[in-house]
Structure 1
């Protein structure tokens, strides 16, 4: 019998793969970009609008949802999909990264992490077992193992201790996850920028066995060159027949480079956060709509874009509503950015399928180098 969760590679071009993840809630075309729905919403977007951009899956945050409104409440109300009116797959992170970056008075032990909520100061303990239970209550389709995101920079001894703790937590996560047909658990490779630690982490994770594997501990300040240096070897250490997910990445050129190196899945707050702060992503690079040069510009953000923002609204209008603090500015800019990201992923998938990824990437970089259109 075919598993209700499986990954199928449909085409290869160099190290890049085009494929499909099959879940009971729908298929995920890879390479895939997952918009971030931190608190059961992709900010400034209706779920129908997120789907209209081409997104097959979104990401939810265990840490934020466990604190508010609470996983038990979401469970009583029918799970996260029903709660937020999203019928397609959802991936939830384990909560570990947010505990390290947002929580106050946190204490890390072998058991897990004790912390004070940044919302109301209440005390909590998050462990591999409780993270699995919270994600079960949320009802997410893809669950992430509980890990420690190794800080950067870290010396080799610190990175090893962190990686080994994450591997012990990965085993506990696997055991606590249990048998949940139709749901998948992903392990997370750690090891900072040290190849031998990455290799050891991949070996331990593979021995435990997961439905997919993430590359963690990157996009934490190391810069693109070092990130690509790790991605030159890290994806190849993970099982060939499972999806590979680069957590928290990233900028459009980060994604193109990571796809070339064999990564299948991405998530990042950048397109939504940038939309709310007045930055648009276009084929010719970023556009800051706050700049005065746009105040009387009747042209769209990107003349080659088919999103609702570019189809009907001018740079001048976007400049005005952003300056006026109108909510529609965040809505239109976010829709455009998510549409751009999904068009980028569709272009990468087509290029891999047609065996022309190198040419696609070269054209992508050349067009971005031209920079924004000349002011009027």
Structure 2
């Protein structure tokens, strides 16, 4: 019985490693497929995503998100598109199935061998199962069989998940969704998270959605907006055009009017709009229930860029949009204040106490730093 428990613990402890190996195999499939069509592999991240790739000059990099892996693939010029892009994004799924085809026969054999001594004896061909010897130990054979079957299961699950064309709540996109976009003759871009802001509103999600879904409420929480409305003749969901009239930067001048199109509409959970003037700039609003009668509001801005951007070009683009984070925080706080005005006094007192505590810590740190300086 003790040996069985030890075997079970060993199998459970190995699961994260098996997940990591499966992800590495999947991303290796992307890399090999990309190289086969003339794309380049700029780097490989083990334990991280594309956002963790630092472009430090090292091809192989390691992150802190255990179980994750990413191959950084891009064309030598232009966009990821056409047949070559389809091959590059289909390589990960294909590699998962290749891994299953190679591992499944031996995995089933080891599993049968671990369950019955007779099948082991038949497999090894020397009569009864020996009591000693590394390959003949039934517990070890059972462990190898379980890990092999687990490895095949994880690879099948990963391939099946990526065969479903969808956008995940985290903003990640499955391989099938990428391929579907390429079949529809769209160019793929590298989506960079410019800013994100989250606030908890003490109101039900349906009420928060109703408030944000009405563009006429925008001037109430965004001081840069004079007027916002739905363009006449557009739909209420996907395809809706929102016209925003902003305040002029110069007194006496006429402010700009901007249009944004709704490209994802999932009430009461999620909406994504893209700028009509800059279609690679998108804003996502995500609402999640947060306890009874409360809602977690997360607003994120994404920038689409060519995968071939140099680090200097990427940095210049992000620097030009550096003020968006502060704007999101300001607007989210204004939304919370508008929707829960009766809690202003308590929240204000709490904010004041937090600010005072931060100032005290900063003063202490400053004095400590001054004491350490020569």
TM-score under structure 2 length normalisation: 0.23
Q: Decide which structure has the larger Cα Rg and report it.
A: 2
In terms of fraction of residues, the more helix-rich structure is: 2
Structure with bigger RCO (C-alpha 8 Å, 6+ apart): 1
